[in-house]
Chains A and B, each alone.
Chain A
Amino acid sequence: MTPMVDDDPRIIEFDVRTDEMLVNMGPQHPSTHGVLRLVLRTDGEIVSQVEPHIGYLHRCAEKIGENLTARQWIPYTDRLDYLAAMNMNLGWALTVEKLMRHQVSEKARHLRVLIAELNRIASHLVGMGAYGLDLGTFSPFLYAFREREKILDLFEEACGARLTYSYLTVGGATADLPPGWLQRCEAFLDQFLPVIEEYHTLLTTNAIFVKRTAGIGVLSREMAIDYGCSGPVLRGSGVDQDLRRDGEAIYTGMYDGYAFEVAVQKHGRYPRDHVYPAVPPDAVLGDCWHRFFVRMLEVMQSIDLVRQAIDRYAACREPLGEPLKLAEKIPAGDVYLETECPKGQTGFYLVSDGSAIPWRVRARSSCFSNLSVLHELCRGCLIADVPAIVGSLDVVMGEIDR
């Protein structure tokens, strides 16, 4: 203890010093989106270093894939990004189909777009609601889950499950949509569209929300690419890349004829920016606010795509077609395919020796790469901003740990 020279309070104030401290956050922490553990090196309120520890949800999904047939692994893909299980199913199904050079029917193609985009909305709703929770506001979470519930109801009707669907599968889908489903889906979209205005009021333009996110955790374009970031994290940094437009033929072919604009800021403007709230003056391209906003724009974009898909699906007269057999032999060879999942580009790599059981299965996780940039974003930020930055990356531990 330093001896006091004077009773002047200002001198005491200058004498107060902080020590470096290691703070453990997680793995059971509500704002780490699952079992993520962060070790923060702090000095007072300032974080000088963040080290993520992952692997708490590691279930050897890749090893399991080496012991099952390709179609049997579909339920395991559900459990990667369990908030967007349909997109995971689709990614793996397309990878296997790419190696088998199999093409699904026109009806199955539109069904897949319809289902995948609907799941994108559901995933972004969780991302948005949970982000509000991270920043200390509870109500957006309830509003988001209220709408997501309706999407889950639609999925339940289509395939019987509410979280792990295994619906889209190799060679199409396990079943066709039940009668009346399309009307119920359209009714949901009509009801959902005005709700988005509420979200913008609750979060996007909310003064506190903007203060907590604008200019925080700025990720430059170069760093985003260098760290292999993808999805809204990459587009939030202004990189114009969306695999639905730029990906491989087997994937972009699915969206052939669909009209959509990639949600990215180009020349300082977002597409159709007259309809949406203006970018707050404090926001910097690549910060938490932009990553959040890109997700919100993608919700709108997906509503548009679902509507287009409904029309095209309803116009198809041919049958959906049967999925491939459970133990269908896969030709020898190896293929890699990335698809644009809600959280980023998730890729699957399949190596086959010609039998029904893959020799090697690899899942490239988008959240894994997105999270690896965290230590760069958190260098020098305040402790309270750590949940804001982690939340803006919108990670799901199931996909990171596999």
Chain B
Amino acid sequence: MRGPSFLDTLQAACPGAVIGSSLEAIDPWIEVAPEKLVEVCQWLKSSSESRFDSLECITAIDWFEPDAKKAAKVTWKPHLEMVYHLWSTVSRMSLVLKTQLPRWQGDVAGQLPDLPSVVGVWRTADWHEREVYDLSGVNFTGHPDLRRILCPEDWEGYPLRKDYQMPLEYHGIRGR
């Protein structure tokens, strides 16, 4: 979906939801406030202008540099970035939604950040959110069955976090 007019329509439909956008990127994206995510998704799916009826992919990116030397040089603050890739089978267009989360809720390590679940909008989000929870550690509020999907249920830690340490031992198996 290209063009600023679409962005204006979205802003009119969901006031206060859009907090940033980049229309000149290779894949133009729109950044929304995390608490407005479901409202925006609902509108994107149902409104006649967009009809994004298919959720392709949910990605969590951990913006954190574990190396202190390198961390001094980066321009961003540590955070989690959620990326939603949407697709419309009607108009055959794609859209990228982004939203930012703290790495840990209230900066307490181990407290997963909350994000409203979009399972109610696209049912494919069920497994995708379970995967993000499993590997990147995001707590999707309102998800019907949030548990690990790829790792065993008693696995500790979130492997796709940049500061993840492989456990020393798992049920008698050496980790590292």
Contacts and interface: CB of A to CB of B under 8 A. Distances in A.
**B: interface residue count bin:** 20 to 34
Nearest to B98: A334
Contacts of A45: none
B59 A246 contact: no
Contacts of A54: 149-150
B127 interface: yes
- Which secondary structure dominates chain A's binding surface? mixed
Contacts of B26: 98-99, 101, 333, 335
Given A55-B151, A58-B151, A335-B26, A372 B124 contact: yes
Contact of A58 (B27, B55, B126, B150): B150
Interface stretch (A142-150, A212-220, A345-353): A345-353
Interface in A34-49: none
A225 B59 contact: no
A55 B152 contact: yes
Interface residues of A, number: 35
B165 interface: no
B56 A345 contact: yes
Nearest to B61: A360
A394 interface: no
Interface of A: 54-55, 58, 60, 62-63, 98-99, 101, 225-228, 239, 241, 246, 248, 333-336, 338, 345, 347, 349, 351, 359-360, 362, 364, 368-369, 372, 401-402
Contacts of B124: 226-228, 369, 372
Nearest to B135: A62
User: Which residue among B26, B94, B152 has the maximum number of chain A CB atoms within 10 Å of its CB?
Assistant: B26
B123 interface: yes
Contact of B53 (A99, A226, A364, A401): A226
Given A63-B159, A349-B85, A360-B61, A228 B122 contact: yes
A347 B57 contact: yes
